Amino acid sequence: MTHFSYRNGELYAEDVPLSRIAEAAGTPVYVYSTAALTDAYTQFAGAMSDAGLNARVCYALKANSNIAVIRTLADLGAGADVVSGGELERALAAGVAAEDIVFSGVGKTEAEMRQSISAGIGQFNIESVPELELLSKVARSMNAEVDIAIRVNPDVDAITHRKITTGKQENKFGLDITRAPELYAKARDLGGLRPVSVAVHIGSQLTSVTPFEAAFARVAELVRDLRSTGYDIRKIDLGGGLGIDYGDGAPPPVSAYAQAVARTVGDFDCEVIFEPGRYIAGPAGILVTRVIYAKEAEVRRFAIVDAAMNDLIRPAMYDAVHRTEPVRERSRDAEIVDWDIVGPVCETGDTFASGCRLPHLEAGELLVMRDAGAYGAVMSSVYNSRALVAEVLVNGDDFAIVRERQEPATFLGYETFAGWQK
């Protein structure tokens, strides 16, 4: 069920007309639905429970790290998957219990390790031998012992965009699964570390369970081998990666994914950790933008909008397509024509869609880009010294601005002239 639908000739977010939000917050603006976040989380967690799994769902903050979004999920029982000290601060500030936080990522610094150990997080996912050695050194210096997983690279092709695949040998993530036994032995001998978990994550926006099942089967084989040689493996971290429908085909239902997990690792009596991000946040958010000009060129028709690639980078970075719709509903017999939806940044790459089939558009009209709740605002910037986009959370017939638009004067305040400049 979508929580963004037409009523009385206008697109609503839950029970709030989008024109009302645009008037209050300005445009462009990201709008998130509390009901959509809640439904996605409960469907995911419920599917794991129905499959008989002892699951811990740790929401991946990299998808959308607004603290109001994190708080919504924390109130439902979600943990957090973080990849930086800043994300750890956000998770804790939003109310996620420290023991429900997993620290992933290939470049953890010593300061981030100390910060995480002091907070008492639940698990570190180790991605290299130098990281393993440094974490041991830091933990011992703090008289601490921490749970770790070795993130193994199973050399499984996720069959997804090359920039978001993480499970092939040529990717920077994880350690070769064939080296895992020697790495667990090293972790056991170093001190300060409890090697009690195995981790894997093969990529993002997967639309088939087949790569998942292949990767999880390799993890299951490793867990059997480790247990047979005396390791107390009591957690299995399967990462995230389940895709969403951007309009080019629906991924498998989460129940099918849960059954694949149950078939491969369901018999180990382990806590199974999941780190969904896009699946939860993606469909729960939209980007609202306003048409600045409707430009009729010789061979193209352009809708130049006030959102730009600095607000939503996915089309420029990943060739992603977000379904675009007018906020004002048209009659069914309205003429439909091709539009290129473009932003004002001085790059041809600042294009959201080409040949987008829409009715006649006018300056001042509001448009919506769907499924923008993940890797949208969280990747935004102030390129071209444009204002940093605002974010709004809707709950029923109420809404709140949960990140104010940051105008150039705000970030100019962080810059200064050199001492020799007058």
User: 298 to each of 295, 337, 354, 362, how far by Cα in Å?
Assistant: 10, 15, 15, 18
In a shared domain, residues 108 and 203: yes
Mean model confidence pLDDT for the chain: 93
Q: Is residue 39 situated within a structural domain?
A: no
pLDDT digit string (tens) for 73-126? 999 999 999 999 999 999 999 999 999 999 999 999 999 999 999 999 999 999
- Closest CA relative to residue 23, chosen from 364, 380, 265: 364
Q: Is residue 98 situated within a structural domain?
A: yes
Q: How do strand 175-176 and strand 235-237 relate by DSSP bridges?
A: unpaired
Domain of 298, CATH number, reads 2.40.37.10
Q: Which residue is associated with the tokens 């910037």? A: 381
Last residue of a domain, one of 281, 310, 333: 281
Local confidence band at 174 (pLDDT 50, 70, 90 cut-offs): low
Q: What mean pLDDT do residues 175-184 have?
A: 92
Q: What is the pLDDT of residue 205?
A: 87
Q: What is the pLDDT of residue 13?
A: 98
Local confidence band at 160 (pLDDT 50, 70, 90 cut-offs): very low
Q: What is the pLDDT of residue 173?
A: 56
In a shared domain, residues 301 and 275: no
- At residue 397, the 3 state secondary structure works out as coil
Strand-pair partners of 290: 366
pLDDT digit string (tens) for 380-409? 999 999 999 999 999 999 999 999 999 999
Q: Which residue has the higher pLDDT, 395 or 299?
A: 395
Q: What percent of the chain has pLDDT over 90?
A: 88
In a shared domain, residues 180 and 291: no
Q: What percent of the chain has pLDDT over 70?
A: 95
- Closest CA relative to residue 3, chosen from 28, 29, 30, 39: 39
pLDDT digit string (tens) for 187-233? 999 999 999 999 999 888 888 999 999 999 999 999 999 999 999 99
Q: What is the pLDDT of residue 155?
A: 77
Residue 159 pLDDT greater than 60, yes or no: no
Domain coverage including residue 110? 51-281
Q: Which residues are catalytic?
A: 346
Q: Is residue 109 situated within a structural domain?
A: yes
pLDDT digit string (tens) for 120-151? 999 999 999 999 999 999 999 999 999 999 99
Domain of 152, CATH number, reads 3.20.20.10
In a shared domain, residues 277 and 289: no
Alpha carbon distance, N-terminus to C-terminus of the chain: 60
In a shared domain, residues 84 and 20: no
In a shared domain, residues 163 and 82: yes
Q: What is the pLDDT of residue 165?
A: 44
Q: What is the pLDDT of residue 249?
A: 75
Domain tally, the chain? 2
- Closest CA relative to residue 162, chosen from 318, 375, 314: 318
Q: Tell me the torsion sign for CA atoms 198, 202, 208, 214.
A: negative
Phi-psi region of 105 (alpha: psi -120 to 50; beta: other; left: phi over 0): left
